[in-house]
Amino acid sequence: MTAAPDLTSTANPRVKSLVRLRNRRARDAAGVTLVEGHDELSLALDAGVRPTELYWAPDLVSGDGTDALLDRVRDTGARTISVSREVFARIAYRESPDGWLAVAPSPVRSLDDLELRPDALVLVAEGVEKPGNVGAMLRTAEACGADAVVTASAERAGTDFANPNVVRASKGTVFAVPVATGTSEQVLDWLRRRGVRVVVTTPAGRTELGRADLTGPTALVIGTEATGVTGLWLDGADDTVVIPMRGTVNSLNASIAAAVALYEATRQRDGG
């Protein structure tokens, strides 16, 4: 006989606390994020994440990997709590949940805590906040071996890397790539102090992307498709580059533009 779940009441204070973590202010105050989904949790563990708690629903989880994933989480020292289907429906963040939800430390670092190699490759995204775009950028940055992904905004630190939707869209790579956020002024100053060359992508760029030198310490700066980067970045750029367009469109989705620029930098660094 299968043991009864540890947690069966949706009125339990622990459930209410988990629901509050859907709010950014609550996550920021606690310094945590939520990792939902079997695959996302597995990738987070691969990146060295040590969850504090795992909530799992025996009625929802499936597959031969259940015991193995539970063992991996327990090996980190996390507390594992089985819950009823009804409780999981209450605490789940996404539609069609698969029965896995972990509480883990927030992946966000301060700018000065980011470690860069001598030939650093940094992706800076200004004004990009949609979880799908941020997650796609993180996946590409991880694939290209980037040192960090930094988001910037004109007036205040904007992107919430601890948003569970960002965690999901990034397929857990938000834990594998160092991330930080700040105002555009803070990020540009940080790059200058680190001796990183600032290369801004813009339709009015001086240099075609393939002709730009991206082999040294470089920050590739991407803006939103609708508005591009602010004047601060254009004025502070060491170079502005344009991605050639052979068709009728004149812009790319921000995450696609980031992928094109990152892979061009990778190609040059590999001697291609």
Which range has the top average pLDDT, 60-74, 227-241, 244-258? Answer: 227-241
Within 10 Å of residue 222's Cβ, how many Cβ atoms?
30
For the segment 76-96, the average pLDDT, to the nearest whole number, is 94
Q: Is residue 118's pLDDT more than 90?
A: yes
**Percent of the chain at pLDDT above 90?**
80
* Per-residue pLDDT reduced to its tens digit, 11-34: 999 999 999 999 999 999 999 999
Give the CA-trace dihedral at 149, 243, 129, 220, to 10 degrees: 20
Structure tokens at 236: 């502070």
User: Is 70 exceeded by the pLDDT of residue 156?
Assistant: no
Is the domain spanning 109-269 CATH 1.10.1200.10? The answer is no
Q: Identify the pLDDT of residue 258.
A: 97
d(CA 106, CA 104): 6
- Segment 29-47 mean pLDDT: 93
- Is the pLDDT at 2 greater than 70? The verdict is no
Token look-up 């540890």 returns 6
Task: Provide CATH code, domain 13-106.
Answer: 3.30.1330.30
Range with lowest mean pLDDT among 56-60, 148-152, 223-227: 223-227
Residues 6+ apart with CB under 8 A from 20: 26
User: For residue 59, how many other CB atoms are within 10 A of its CB?
Assistant: 14
pLDDT digits (tens, 9 = 90+) for 241-263: 999 988 888 788 999 999 999 99
**Nearest in space to 123 (alpha carbons), one of 207, 180, 192, 169:** 180
pTM tops 0.85: yes
Residue 166 corresponds to which amino acid? V
Question: Residue 172 is encoded by which pair of tokens?
Answer: 């857990």
The answer to which of 37-41, 61-65, 117-121, 219-223 has the lowest mean pLDDT is: 61-65
**CATH 3.30.1330.30 residue ranges for the chain:** 13-106
Residue 42 has a pLDDT of: 93
Instruction: Reply yes or no on whether the pLDDT at 1 is more than 70.
Output: no
Question: What does the mean pLDDT of the chain come to?
Answer: 93
pLDDT tens-place string over residues 184-206? 999 999 999 999 999 999 999 99
| CB atoms inside a 10 Å sphere around CB 51 | 24
pLDDT at 148: 98
DSSP for 59-117, written as a single string:
TT--STTHHHHHHHHHHTT-EEEEB-HHHHHHH--SSS--SEEEEEE--EE-GGG----
Segments of the chain assigned to CATH 3.40.1280.10: 109-269
The answer on pLDDT for 107 being more than 70 is yes
Q: What percent of the chain stands above pLDDT 70?
A: 97
